[in-house]
Structure formats: C-alpha cells, structure tokens
Chains A and B, each alone.
Chain A
Amino acid sequence: MGSKSDFENSLRTLFTRVFGETCNLESFRRLSGGASQETWALSGDNHAAILRRAPGGTSKARSSAAIGLPAEAKLISAANKTGVPVPDILYVLSDEDGLGDGFVMSLVEGETIARPILRNDEFASARRILAGQCGTALADIHAISLDSAPSELQRSDGLAQISQYEDIYRSFDAPRPVFELALQWLKANAPAPTPSVLVHGDFRLGNLMIDESGLAAVLDWELAHIGDAREDIAWLCVNSWRFGQTENRVGGFGQLEDLLEAYNTRAGTDISPGDIDWWEMLGSLKWGVMCMIMYEAFRSGGDASVERAAIGRRVSETEIDLINLLEAAHA
C-alpha cells in the first residue's frame, strides 16, 4: 500500500505524534527478526523506538491463533502493570496513521538470537540466573487478571490443542506413525486441568530480549491465550528450543528445577518437573505440525522459497524428540 515516500512521510508524521511536534525522524531501518510481523527501528532527536506492524501495512491477524496487533498492545500494557519485563507501549496505530495495524514501543537493548545467548561469554552470568528469572516472569504473566486481558484472547487448553493440531495434521493426508502414537499417548495420559490463566504462548529464546543481566523484556505476545500455566513452562523446555544444548532442559541455558523453584515461590503453586513432561511432548508435536504447515505453503504453491521447502525436512527432528519422550515415559 502506498509508495516508498508515502511510507517515509507516514513514519515522519508518526514520529511527531509519538514524541512531539519538534521531533524529527532521522533514521529508520527494518530489523531482520520477526518473520510474521514487520519490525522497524526509528530514531531522531535523542528518541528511539520500535514500530511493530502487520506485513506491508495490512490490518489482519496472520493466523486464526494470533490475537492481532491492537490486542497485543493492550496485553503488553497489562503485563507491564503486573511487573512483567516488557517494552512500554508508546502509541497504537490508527487508520489516520496510514501504516496499517501496529504499535510503537520503547527500544529495549539486548540480544534475541539464541546462539549468541547460549554461547557468547558476555551472556555467561546471564545464563546462570536466566532460568529463575524466566520462572518469576512466567508467574507474573500467569497472574495477569483475565478481566484486564483483551477480549480477543481465545480459550485453549491441552486437549483442545491436541484436537486443533490433529485436525491440521490430518488435513495434509500425509500419515506419520510417530505423530499418530504421540496423539494417542497424549489423549490417554492427559493430566487433570488446572485453573485457567493467561498464557503467553511463545515464551522461548527468539522472543525474549536478553542482556548481560538476564531477561530484559518478553516480546511477541501474538499467540497469547487463556489456558494452562504448564504449557508456557513446557514450551521453553521443548528440545527444538534448546538449540543443541539438550542437557539444559530450560531453553538450552538452565535447569527446570531452578525455573520451578522461582515459579512456585512467586505463584504459590507446587509444580514439579514431572508435571511438565506431558506438556513438553505436546509442544514437540505442535512444533512438528507447525513445520508441516510451513512446508505446506511451499507444496501448495503459495511460497516458492527454498526455506519453506526445506523446513519439511525438519519435521523428523520433532519425531525423534517424540520417540525419546515416549521411550522415557515407558522406561
């Protein structure tokens, strides 16, 4: 929508709306992260901010599970009030901005890419305390009042997610016996539900801003929903999100006991590592189906890129993780 200079003019006007009439936008650049949303770094007159908006300035949630950017902005503000480390929401786009759906937030410095966080010396002391910080932050997210949460949030517990992902998997008519066994095992061994809380939905390296002191901000709230607290804890433990550091169950950097000690202390709960196992298996299955969805974009002709084609050969990563988890459950 619009030409390049229209876009630049819209950004200039936006910058004055956020920071005041006398503030000139001096530079803007697209940040590489964020495959589903556009992220732009804006700066000028000693102000800096991040614009997060829908691709190409559209105004639609990218999938049925995503809550949409205006709702995401409301949720980040609610999380801020509960003490979760998040950027400040400075401005929510409206039609007159001519930039589609989105919002402007404060710039939080740090690193989101997993490999440097897990390997570089500058993050060594952060890695030692990060599991506990994640436990505290997750407890604070789960303490956000459901009354203050945006109405766009859907309810989705473990069994509903099994059913949702099974439907998608079956629609591809590409049978995978390991997925069949995981589906049946998960249904037969489902844990009793716990009281519903606000779930972030994608809490893992890549969506967390990390600096030398640890967790600086929780980002990417678009998959938030109302569900089971254990889902968030387990998603961070899924082997795909340990980025090769399998021995560290929490995100490749920490131990689950440390995360749970901080979580249980803050939330007044009594969750044990064994309570996470079922949800970790569900997480691996979900990521496997998500890889199938991304490959389907290639197979159906929608996206001809080599990246979308090749991701179909990563589904087997989740299958071997499922095998390892099923074996452990039957040891």
Chain B
Amino acid sequence: MHDQPSVSELVQAVKNFIDETAAPNLEGHAAFHARVASNALATVLRDLEQRPARETEEAARLIALLSAPEDSELETLNRNLSEQIQAGTLTAETPGLLAHLKATTIAQVEIDQPRYSGLKTAKT
C-alpha cells in the first residue's frame, strides 16, 4: 500500500478547498457550517499527529496510578479509573490523581480546541 498523498495531506487538501474555494462562495448558515467543517479538519490533523504519543503517556500514568497490568488497554484503564472515582476509592486528595487528569485533559484540549482560554489558565 502507498500513502502518497498521506491521510494528513489529503485532509489538508480538503481543508484548503473549504477555506479558499468553498467558504468564500457561501453565505449565512452554510458559511457558518463551512467554518465549523474547516475547524473540524484542523482537529483531525492535530489528532493524527498528537494522539499516539499522548495516549502512550496517558496509559503509562494510569498503569502506575491504578497498579494495573502493563498490557492493559487504555479504554479498560479509563473505565476502571472512572469506577474507582465514582466509588470514592480515588478522590481529589489522592496523590497523583488531579495531576494525571490535568495532563490528560491538557493533551485533549490541545487537540480539540488549542485556543480555548481555559487551556492557557491550566498551563500557567
């Protein structure tokens, strides 16, 4: 299999088309949706680039925090984490919990909405 153009390049090309050709010819609600579509593709590009490394770090933190087996799946780890918080065995006072959630959420917002004001607050 080849990847020329790569997935990222194809997404970038579609985004260029929306921004430079389609959006300037649209009005009202359709123009608004074109902006949303362009922003969604920017999220896709950041997700492709950043998610693999951020999820590896997230899983490593969770394995330590939950004393879970090394080969645990990320989804299983997060379900386990959610259940323990709901049950009250992990709380805001638990060492490392808030720091882990903060690191994970910063990584998520940097993909989803990197200009969101709350991200800057979290990082200062």
With contact pairs A327-B102, A330-B98 given, residues A246 and B117 touching in the complex (Cβ less than 8 Å): yes
B residues in contact with A309, CB < 8 Å: 40
- Could you mark each residue 73-108 of chain B with 1 if its beta carbon is under 8 Å from any beta carbon of chain A, else 0? 000001101110110100111000110011011101
Residues A305 and B97 in contact, CB atoms below 8 Å apart: no
Residues A180 and B85 in contact, CB atoms below 8 Å apart: yes
Residues A181 and B92 in contact, CB atoms below 8 Å apart: yes
Main secondary structure of the interface of A (DSSP, over half): helix
CB of A326 within 8 Å of the partner chain: yes
A residues in contact with B86, CB < 8 Å: 180, 183-184
Residues B118 and A185 in contact, CB atoms below 8 Å apart: no
With contact pairs A246-B117, A310-B40, A323-B122 given, residues A177 and B78 touching in the complex (Cβ less than 8 Å): yes
Residues B101 and A330 in contact, CB atoms below 8 Å apart: no
CB of A239 within 8 Å of the partner chain: yes
Q: Besides A181-B91, A181-B92, A317-B113, 8 other CB < 8 A contacts? A: A177-B81, A177-B101, A310-B36, A310-B40, A313-B111, A320-B118, A324-B118, A329-B92
CB of B33 within 8 Å of the partner chain: yes
CB of A296 within 8 Å of the partner chain: no
Q: What residues of chain B have their CB less than 8 Å away from a CB belonging to chain A? A: 28-29, 32-33, 36-37, 39-40, 43, 78-79, 81-83, 85-86, 88, 91-93, 97-98, 101-102, 104-106, 108-109, 111-113, 116-122
With contact pairs A306-B33, A320-B122 given, residues A180 and B82 touching in the complex (Cβ less than 8 Å): yes
Residues B78 and A239 in contact, CB atoms below 8 Å apart: no
Main secondary structure of the interface of B (DSSP, over half): helix
A121 to B105, CA, bound (A): 35
A-B contact count (CB 8 A): 101
- Within 184-202 of A, Cβ neighbours of B (below 8 Å) are at 184-185
A residues in contact with B37, CB < 8 Å: 306, 310
A residues in contact with B119, CB < 8 Å: 320
CB of A175 within 8 Å of the partner chain: yes
Which single residue of chain B is at the shortest CB-CB distance from A245?
A: B117
A324 to B113, CA, bound (A): 16
Residues B82 and A316 in contact, CB atoms below 8 Å apart: no
Closest CB-CB distance, B70 to chain A, in whole Å? 20
Residues A181 and B97 in contact, CB atoms below 8 Å apart: yes
Residue of B98, B116, B120 with most partner-chain A CB within 10 A: B116
With contact pairs A184-B88, A326-B92 given, residues A320 and B98 touching in the complex (Cβ less than 8 Å): no
